[in-house]
Amino acid sequence: MEIKKIGVVGAGTMGNGIAQVCAQIGCEVVLRDIEDAFVERGIKNIDRFLSRSVEKGKMEASEKEAVLARIKGTTNMADLADVDFVIEAVLEVMDLKKKVFQELDEICRPGVVLASNTSSMSLTEIAAATKRPEKVCGMHFFNPVPLMRLVEVIRGHFTDDETVAATTELAKKMGKVTVEIKKDSPGFIVNRIMIPHMIEAIKIVEEGIATIEDVDIAVKAGLNYPMGPFELMDLTGIDICFNVAEYFYQELNKESKWVTPTLFKTMIRAGKLGRKTGAGWYEYGKK
């Protein structure tokens, strides 16, 4: 089935980026959030991103208008009744995701794929909240969505081949590189690799082996990473990284490699969460 109309649930950081890339490949988009103000903020962010693209000469002004015209904001879930594909990007809270998937399952046509942008949660558990578990899968984008090239396509326990193929094809149409996660497992590929390098970096500093600055310099110049682990934690939010590490500890058999260093906890207790609070591993001026 050709995908012409896509429902995006959640108009936050990820949802608005996802709505934008869907509209840029010519699809009609229904962007749903719980309050008008959130929907408007999401659409304003898309407008801002596209305006910058026009200023930089990467896009014609007429194309920007056409992309925006394809996105319809709503607070009414029933407006997703005739979509061909759904991408969910609400908060990372399991009970909320289950509730949203239950609602989507009732509203959307049978056979429509319901994909989740969850960063780490079980697709099997989310799918079990619906009567179409074989049509539920993970479609994990990275922030900022229009710029980051990867999409992880995740199989839950019930996901069928058709669903994986349709999701992969859609991501490729958006110009993304895709990888398939064959088994439902916490953190998939990228976060499972990202968190240990953060934990190890903090341990190196805690043990007095090197400074924060030198760890970042070493990782950038020696591994050719674009950002060091401390810079990346400050950008992502130290609390977010910490919560993911704790989640892995619980879900991955309490292996010692997932134990969070004391210094990690101290940063949270000090309210130094990264760029968003004006200070993290580095200082960014008052917020």
Ligand X SMILES: NC(=O)c1ccc[n+]([C@@H]2O[C@H](COP(=O)([O-])OP(=O)(O)OC[C@H]3O[C@@H](n4cnc5c(N)ncnc54)[C@H](O)[C@@H]3O)[C@@H](O)[C@H]2O)c1
Closer CB to ligand X, 232 or 279, in the complex: 232
Query: Is residue 11 a contact point for ligand X (CB under 6 A)?
Result: yes
Segment interacting with ligand X (CB under 6 A) among 5-13, 50-58, 216-224, 276-284: 5-13
Segment interacting with ligand X (CB under 6 A) among 105-113, 136-144, 208-216, 266-274: 136-144
User: CB of residue 88 vs ligand X: minimum separation in angstroms?
Assistant: 8
Among 2, 57, 76, 91, binds ligand X (CB under 6 A): 91
Residue 253 known to be catalytic: no
> What Å distances lie between residue 18 and 112, 163, 234, CA to CA?
18, 18, 23
Closer CB to ligand X, 138 or 205, in the complex: 138
Of the candidates 268, 225, 208, the one whose C-alpha atom is nearest the C-alpha of residue 244 is: 268
Q: Which of 53, 120, 122, 152 is catalytic?
A: 152
Amino acid (1-letter code) at residue 76 = N
Closer CB to ligand X, 142 or 225, in the complex: 142
Residue 140 known to be catalytic: yes
Closer CB to ligand X, 138 or 261, in the complex: 138
Beta bridge partners of 115: 87, 137
Cα pseudo-dihedral 31, 34, 36, 39, rounded to 10: -30
Task: Let me know: does 150 contact 190? Beta carbons within 8 Å.
Answer: yes
Q: Which of 45, 119, 120, 122 is catalytic?
A: 119
Segment interacting with ligand X (CB under 6 A) among 91-99, 175-183, 250-258, 262-270: 91-99
Query: Is residue 176 a contact point for ligand X (CB under 6 A)?
Result: no
Segment interacting with ligand X (CB under 6 A) among 30-38, 63-71, 105-113, 181-189: 30-38
Would you state the structure tokens that stand for residue 242, as one six-digit string?
């910490």
Site for ligand X in 145-174 (CB under 6 A): none
Q: CA 172, CA 148: separation in Å to the nearest integer?
A: 13
Query: Is residue 12 a contact point for ligand X (CB under 6 A)?
Result: yes
Closer CB to ligand X, 38 or 248, in the complex: 38
> What Å distances lie between residue 211 and 214, 217, 218, 268, CA to CA?
5, 10, 10, 19
Cα pseudo-dihedral 115, 116, 121, 125, rounded to 10: -50
Q: β-strand 150-155 against 136-140: which pairing, if any?
A: antiparallel
Q: β-strand 85-88 against 28-32: which pairing, if any?
A: unpaired
Bond prior to 133 in cis (omega within 30° of 0): no
User: CB of residue 116 vs ligand X: minimum separation in angstroms?
Assistant: 7
Residue 51 known to be catalytic: no
Catalytically active residues are 119, 140, 152, 191
Please report, as ranges, the residues that interact with ligand X according to CB under 6 A: 9-15, 32-34, 38, 89-92, 96, 100, 117-119, 141-143
